[in-house]
Amino acid sequence: KAGVTQTPRYLIKTRGQQVTLSCSPISGHRSVSWYQQTPGQGLQFLFEYFSETQRNKGNFPGRFSGRQFSNSRSEMNVSTLELGDSALYLCASSLEGRGARTEAFFGQGTRLTVV
């Protein structure tokens, strides 16, 4: 069974630009969650998509957005990049995605550096 695939692995962008990150979940998983990880804040929840609908959203500004396609693949977009957006962005897929009842499978992450 293929794991969660995130592309690209590394990205360098300039302040003010926008970026799109991609996540392909494990086959059969309908829930995809996105997290931002920084040394100071740890893993912070961005949003969760389930069957193409955003089901939950964390406390991030509207510059952070996402979507999910009918094949469960998900993208997240960050517009007007700021230096503080530099982080490891992680995608996790799971069967249900709710209530911690099932394990989450994480991708390798996309390391975004904003200069």
- Identify each DSSP E strand in the chain by its residue range: 5-7, 10-13, 19-24, 31-38, 42-50, 53-57, 64-68, 74-78, 87-94, 105-106, 110-114
Asked if residue 53 binds other proteins (CB under 8 A), the reply is no
Cα distance between residue 19 and residue 13, in whole Å: 8
Nearer to other proteins, 17 or 51 (CB): 51
Query: Is 25 one of the binding residues for other proteins (CB under 8 A)?
Result: no
* Site stretch for other proteins (CB under 8 A), options 13-21, 63-71, 72-80, 103-111: 103-111
By the criterion CB under 8 A, which residues form the site for other proteins?
Answer: 4, 33, 35, 41-43, 45, 48, 55-56, 58, 88, 90, 92, 97-109, 111
